[in-house]
Structure formats: structure tokens, C-alpha cells
């Protein structure tokens, strides 16, 4: 497995994996990724409420 460089293409590839194979995408994200996504969603929701 080659060294991963976190960049735009890496993000796109991950998103493509998730959209084309949801069950594989979740495994790819792992626990840290899911927690990170939840935090992002919660922060986005808080900002949305504050803007209203």
C-alpha cells in the first residue's frame, strides 16, 4: 500500500468509494472518520441555527 497523501484527490477518491460502495465506504472511514463526520455535522447544525 502506497503512502497516502491527504489531498483533494484523496478526498474525492474516498467520497467515490463511499457513494459507489456504501458498506465498504463505512469500513474505509473507520471509527475516527465517523466521529469526525458527526462532529462536522453537529458544528454545521449549530452554525445553521445561529445564522437563522
CB 37 within 8 A of CB 29: yes
Neighbours of 17 (CB within 10 A): 16
Rounded Cα–Cα distance for residues 37 and 43 (Å): 10
Confidence at residue 30, expressed as pLDDT on a 0 to 100 scale: 72
What pTM did the predictor assign?
A: 0.42
Give the pLDDT band of residue 43 (cuts 50, 70, 90): very high
More confident residue, 4 or 43: 43
Residue scoring higher pLDDT (17 or 25): 17
| Set of cell numbers at residue 41 | 455535522
Return the higher-pLDDT residue of 14 and 7.
14
Amino acid at each position: 500500500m502506497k503512502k497516502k497523501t491527504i489531498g483533494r484527490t484523496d478526498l474525492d477518491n474516498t467520497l467515490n468509494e463511499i457513494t459507489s460502495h456504501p458498506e465498504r465506504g463505512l469500513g474505509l472511514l473507520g471509527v475516527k472518520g465517523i466521529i469526525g463526520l458527526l462532529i462536522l455535522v453537529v458544528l454545521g447544525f449549530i452554525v445553521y441555527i445561529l445564522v437563522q
